[in-house]
Amino acid sequence: MTINFRELHHPGRPFILANAWDIGSARMYAALGAKAIGTSSAAYAFTLGRADMGNVSRDEMLAHAEEMVAATKLPVSGDFENGFGDDPDTVAQTVKLAAEVGLAGISIEDTLLPSASVYNFELAVERIKAAAATARSLSADFVLVARADGLMNKQYDLAEAIKRIQAYESVGADCVYIPCLPDLASVKTVCQSVSIPVNILAVGAMTAFSTAQLSDAGVARISLGSANVREVQQVMHDTMRAILDNGDFSRLGKGIDSNYMDELLERGKQ
> Domain spans of the chain?
6-227
Residue 146: enclosing H or E segment and its boundaries? Answer: strand 143-147
pLDDT of residue 1: 55
Which letter does DSSP use for residue 46 in this model?
H
- pLDDT tens for 73-113 read 999 999 999 999 999 999 999 999 999 999 999 999 999 99
- pLDDT tens for 205-253 read 999 999 999 999 999 999 999 999 999 999 999 999 999 999 999 999 9
Residue 243: enclosing H or E segment and its boundaries? Answer: helix 227-246
How many Cα atoms within 13 Å fall on the side-chain side of residue 156? 19
Whole-angstrom CA distances from 16 to 5, 101, 123, 179 are 12, 22, 31, 15
The answer to whether the beta carbons of residues 59 and 243 sit under 8 Å apart is no
Which letter does DSSP use for residue 77 in this model?
E
Burial 188-204 (b: 16+ CB within 10 A, else e): bbbbebbebbbbbbbbe
Provide the residue count of the chain. 270
The answer to whether the pTM exceeds 0.85 is yes
Q: Measured between alpha carbons, how far is 155 from 109 in angstroms, rounded to an integer? A: 13
- pLDDT tens for 139-155 read 889 999 999 999 999 99
Confirm or reject CATH 3.40.50.300 for domain 6-227, answering yes or no: no
